[in-house]
Amino acid sequence: MLSFENVGLRYGDAPETLQDITFDIAPGSFQFLTGPSGAGKTSLLRMITLSLRPTRGVIRLMGHNLGCNVGKDLALAVGDQGGKISRQDIVALRRRMGVVFQDFRLLDHLTLYENVALPLRLREREETSYRAEVIELLEWVGLGDVRNARPPSLSGGEKQRAAIARALIARPELVLADEPTGNVDPTLARRILRLLIEMHKAGAAVMVATHDLGLMDHYALARRLVLADGRLLAFE
């Protein structure tokens, strides 16, 4: 599903933030991406979502080769046969992923239901085809009673669970979560982890970026991708 081969990342003329990163993620797998603050976890996730291009190396994502030749606006990338991957192809790849952002990125003017349904609306699906699905997912993450509320009235934990629901509503093949438990208490952190584990059990590949070693101990079956000083130290 995803592989990095000798990937390096540099911002401007500064030393490389990430150096010689090589790893693979299989379909249906679960892995933690861990390391201290500033190790490059968010940068690595941004390269996977095609919002940041590598300085060197090759990223293979769902059958496409994406290297450092990706355009600055990410409109074109060199493909497997030396052809081009269009902007539409990149949009299609992103739609096969679900991303849980560290800052939630919920839209304050929309209700919780509307925020979670947004990925389906953008695909121009009729509401009658997904309304029950959205409500069921909100119930699953424990937010059914507040589905008509707007984000400013929600707690941090509720916003995080809403962000997870929005990431999962389109049944993505790859789920990426950037510090999804960073702003919640340990009990809620374990609940959020259980939601991600259930998505994994349903067939999605999951990568959770976290510096919480205690959280990782709650899912011993997951592999650990460890970053420090921009280098991959271990992949267990």
**DSSP assignment of the chain:** -EEEEEEEEE-TTSPEEEEEEEEEE-TT-EEEEE-STTSSHHHHHHHHTTSS--SEEEEEETTEEEETTS-TTS--EE-TTS-EE-HHHHHHHHHTEEEE-TT----TTS-HHHHHHHHHHHTT--GGGTHHHHHHHHHHTT-GGGTTS-GGGS-HHHHHHHHHHHHHTT--SEEEEESTTTTS-HHHHHHHHHHHHHHHHTT-EEEEE---HHHHTT-TTSEEEEEETTEEEEE-
Q: Which two tokens stand for residue 230?
A: 């921009």
Please state, in angstroms and rounded to a whole number, the distance separating the CA atoms of residues 29 and 199: 11
pLDDT value of position 78: 42
**Predicted pLDDT at 53:** 86
Measured between alpha carbons, how far is 150 from 107 in angstroms, rounded to an integer?
Answer: 8
pLDDT score at 221: 81
What integer pLDDT is reported at residue 77 of this predicted model?
43
Is the Cβ–Cβ distance between 193 and 218 less than 8 Å? yes
Question: Residue 8's beta-bridge partner residues?
Answer: 56
User: What confidence score (pLDDT) does residue 211 get?
Assistant: 85
In sequence order, which residues have a C-beta less than 8 Å from that of residue 15 and are 6 or more positions away? none
Q: Which fold has domain 2-96+172-235?
A: Rossmann fold (3.40.50)
Q: What is the pLDDT of residue 99?
A: 92
Here the tokens at position 203 are: 């067939």
Q: What is the pLDDT along the chain (236 residues), one digit of tens a residue?
A: 899 999 999 988 888 999 999 999 999 999 999 988 888 899 999 999 988 889 999 999 998 887 655 444 443 344 444 445 678 888 889 999 999 988 889 999 999 999 999 999 988 899 999 999 999 999 988 999 999 999 999 998 899 899 999 999 999 999 999 988 877 788 888 888 988 998 899 899 999 999 888 888 888 888 999 998 889 986 66
Quote the CA–CA distance of 7 and 21 in Å, as a whole number: 5
**pTM metric for this prediction:** 0.86
The rounded distance, in Å, linking the Cα atoms of 56 and 93 is 21
Residue whose pair of structure tokens reads 């993620």 in the numeric block:
25
Measured CA to CA, the distance from residue 121 to residue 123 in angstroms comes to 5
